[in-house]
Chain A
Amino acid sequence: MLSMLRQFRAVGLLGMNRRNGDYIMRCNPRARYPLVDNKVLTKRLAEQHGVPTPTLYHVIEHHGDIAGMNAALGDRKRFVVKPARGTGGSGIVLITDRSADGFVNQNGDRISSVDLAYHISDILSGIHSLSGLEDSAILEALIYPDPVFSSVSYEGVPDIRIIVYRGVPVMGMVRLPTSMSDGKANLHRGAIGAGIDIASGKTLSAVCRSEVVAVHPDTGHRVAGIQVPQWEQVLRIAATALDMTGLGYLGVDMVIDRERGPLLLELNARPGLAIQIANRVGLRLRLDTVDAESADAFATPDRRIAWARERFGTKPEAAP
């Protein structure tokens, strides 16, 4: 046990207690949580700071507004319905086409207009928000993921998570859906997490349910060594999150759209710790490195990105 403790200290593993006590509580003022917990607010902030997000079509706030949905959608055939305060991807419906009596979802199943209205009504009642509070429903553009990760994903949309401390991107990973995770980019459910080298934007080793894996279990392709497209832009979105929210310890979730490039999906004021397993390195050493630097190195997003790329490069490990 003691030797384990020493090894954890050596790799700089950040534990749950220290994350909560020393980083989240110190860096994230409670008053700003609504900015990240409500995706509508996050989107508006992003717009003000020039950060691209999936195009917002419409927000439904009251049950009475559901009827006006069709007018707002116009003749758009492809869109996403999601709860503004949803967590863990619950309540999200992807619509890929219209049919005679309504819509078609990504699996090709027909959804009648009545059913969709019912689903939106559920969202508004707060069924998908964990606190059970009244919620609003977002209609936004469907994402077409960049094909760069298609060889190592099973259905779904891979997303990129960057941990940003005081505006500095300190660690990143890409979450790749598997059949085990039911096509969802959710590590809990068995998606793959692959670390990303902050300096180059290339994927490193990958883990699936705490086990190191070299290839994607469904596609059999190697996970490591894939270059994330527009890496500089990914880092810029991440670094701007501080200016958007004033939150000092954030998880920034992005997707790479085929046409629009990196888009901000959502922000998380309590990002998980599994990213350390995916990168096979602890967060603390990097957080301490940030704290050791004088504050004027972090004046602008560009300086923070340059600073981080200089220090947080990881040499890819030899292929097993």
Chain B
Amino acid sequence: MKRTVAVIVTLLILCPLALISYRVLILGYPLFPAAPQKVWQLSFDARVGGETVSGSLEAGLPSIHQGLAVLGETIGDGSLEFTLRSDGSNRIAAWSGRPDPDGTLITYRSTFRIPAGRSAPPPGASAYPSGVTEDLQRSAETIVADILRLPPAERLAVLATRISHAAQDRDPIVQNLIRTLGGETAFLTLLHAAALPSFAVEGLSLSEGSYGNTIRWIEVWTGSSWLRLAPETGAFYQQSALLLPLTHGNVPAIQSHGFDVTDIRWTLSRQVVSQWGLQYDRIGKSNRLLDQWSLFRLPQEFQGTFRILILVPLGALMICILRNIIGFPTFGIFMPVLMALAFRNTGLLYGIGIFATVLLVGFAARNSLEKLRLLLVPRLSVMVTLVIICFTVFALIGNRLDLRAFMAIGLLPFVILTMAIERFFVITEEEGVKEALRTAAGSAAVASLTYAIVQFEPLQLTFFVYPELLLMVMALQLLIGRYTGYRLSEFLRFRSLRRTRA
């Protein structure tokens, strides 16, 4: 028997562990979904206007192509028309139309998260930058001719050094190329000549602050990783440096056709967003099998119920512990759990107050009913009616006093209360008032504890993301089911045995 239980318990612990490991390691779930996670918010504001009849403003936006998880976007377009289009790996927002005479304010806000591992950007262009003449291509090929045999990383290092020397007036050949093409195009030309895939990026340095200008950098593929360099100086960015790309290639981050654009401003800030929203967005966008079967895929109106429901087994586990290991007296087995659920509507203090009042009124009534010697079922019906009358009176009083908690009693607890009154009465009769009060206090304490657990949001979230944890809860419940040691309360109950033999 013990071995069978041990095997089942082991299975019930290992299965969810495997599933959780798979979710964390393969699907990239957060290990602690409730741990505070920060996201970035980008705001882009600009004022367009001027004498122009009509025009358009195009701006590059952060996109999932850049390895970002975009969680939400809002757009303010004033009187202009807004369109969004994809241009290769770029997402371009365009505001077009006739601006107000004194200028129209356009805004864009985006919330996004940088995944832990930076994913690779899209492959770079495989041609020379446009506008580079064949002569210039030939001279670039001459420059790199003697380094073509080196491995890619070393080729890149040599080129970066030459660019930096040119910036310091120490490399006339490259300087010549730069003079003709400009620093960035010259660099990209050389990289292509050296067979290093590369492209230019315009974006922002990802740190909190407000920026009037973007920065540009070059991404180069060395065969094993993408490296980022400053085009003018040839300096490498550190691998850990956070950059937010807005556009790739020679698409500018901001492009105006006929507009006077003033007050361009990008603002980056870190924010804490609702954990629920974060998980919801992440899982909602995934088409993995496990994500398809996630509780987050339920319609919103049912999710709320399951957030609570999924913690009820934890409450039941608590009652197992309290009753079988500690030896706490409670009315019935699950009455405290149901009480805790009822408290969610009313709040803890009002809930306990209402329960205690109805219990006392009900007990008094039950005492008098005993003398009438009613049959069982009609007697319980009378008690149900009495409980409902109490609720009604509470609601009416609550309405007069403007106490919402008095009205929010809900449907569930009337059964619980009726049964609690019955149990209270039976215990009073059979074991005395003291025992009945002890049991009532025990039930209230357990209900409060269960309430605290069920209302604890990080726990709700964790179980909602990993419902397989329920199997572990079941494993613990099985273990307690085979616990044959003493209950803590028995130390008190049998203390006289100890004295005589000590």
Contacts and interface: CB of A to CB of B under 8 A. Distances in A.
Contact of A17 (B431, B484, B491, B493): B484
A10 B500 CA distance: 12
A306 B490 CA distance: 33
B501 interface: yes
B486 interface: yes
B485 A18 contact: yes
Contact of A4 (B431, B491, B500): B491
B491 A21 contact: no
A16 B487 contact: yes
Q: What size tier do the contact residues of chain A reach? A: 35 or more
Interface string A11-22: 101011110011
B373 A8 contact: no
A90 B370 CA distance: 13
A276 B494 contact: yes
A7 to B, nearest CB: 5
A189 B375 CA distance: 26
A124 B482 CA distance: 38
A188 B502 CA distance: 26
A5 B500 CA distance: 14
B482 A21 contact: yes
Contact of A280 (B376, B484, B500): B500
Interface in A118-160: 118-119, 122, 125-127, 130, 132
Interface string B414-456: 0000000000001001111001000000000000000000000
A90 B427 CA distance: 12
A276 B495 CA distance: 11
Interface in A68-121: 88, 90, 118-119
Contacts of A130: 426
B376 to A, nearest CB: 5
A211 interface: yes
Contacts of A21: 481-484
Given A126-B376, A210-B496, A16 B430 contact: no
Nearest to A133: B376
A262 interface: no
B401 interface: no
A51 to B, nearest CB: 28
A207 B484 contact: no
Nearest to A5: B486
B498 A8 contact: yes
A1 interface: yes
Nearest to B435: A188
Which of A4, A88, A188, A277 gathers most chain B CB within 10 Å? Answer: A4
Nearest to A88: B430
B432 A189 contact: yes
A60 to B, nearest CB: 16
Given A90-B429, A126-B376, A188-B431, A8 B497 contact: yes
Contacts of A282: 497
Contact of B376 (A11, A22, A125, A276): A125
A125 B485 CA distance: 40
B87 to A, nearest CB: 70
Contact of A8 (B429, B435, B483, B486): B486
A212 interface: yes
Nearest to A128: B376
Interface string B458-502: 000000000000000000000001111111001101111110111
A13 B373 contact: no
A127 B375 CA distance: 7
A124 to B, nearest CB: 10
A1 B430 contact: no
Given A8-B498, A212-B496, A17 B375 contact: no
A295 B491 CA distance: 34
Contacts of A13: 486, 490, 494, 497
A273 B430 CA distance: 17
Contacts of A132: 376
Given A17-B486, A122-B373, A1 B491 contact: yes
A119 to B, nearest CB: 8
Nearest to A11: B501
B327 interface: yes
Contacts of B324: 17
Given A7-B502, A8-B498, A189-B432, A22 B493 contact: no
Contacts of A127: 375-376
A277 to B, nearest CB: 6
Nearest to A207: B496
Nearest to A274: B493
Contacts of A88: 430
B501 A7 contact: yes
A207 B495 CA distance: 12
A203 B58 CA distance: 101
Contacts of B376: 125-127, 132
Interface in A187-224: 188-189, 207, 210-212
A15 B497 contact: no
Contact of A15 (B486, B496, B500): B486
B483 A4 contact: no
A188 B493 CA distance: 12
Given A15-B484, A281-B497, 20 more contacts: A1-B491, A4-B495, A5-B491, A7-B497, A7-B501, A8-B494, A11-B497, A13-B486, A17-B484, A18-B485, A22-B484, A88-B430, A188-B430, A188-B432, A189-B431, A189-B432, A211-B496, A212-B500, A276-B497, A277-B493
17 contacts: A4-B495, A4-B498, A7-B502, A8-B497, A11-B497, A16-B490, A17-B484, A21-B481, A21-B483, A90-B430, A119-B373, A132-B376, A188-B435, A210-B496, A211-B496, A277-B494, A280-B497
Interface of B: 324, 327, 373, 375-376, 426, 429-432, 435, 481-487, 490-491, 493-498, 500-502
Interface of A: 1, 4-5, 7-8, 10-11, 13, 15-18, 21-22, 88, 90, 118-119, 122, 125-127, 130, 132, 188-189, 207, 210-212, 273, 276-277, 280-282
**The 4 nearest A-B residue pairs measured at CB:** A18-B484, A15-B486, A21-B484, A7-B498
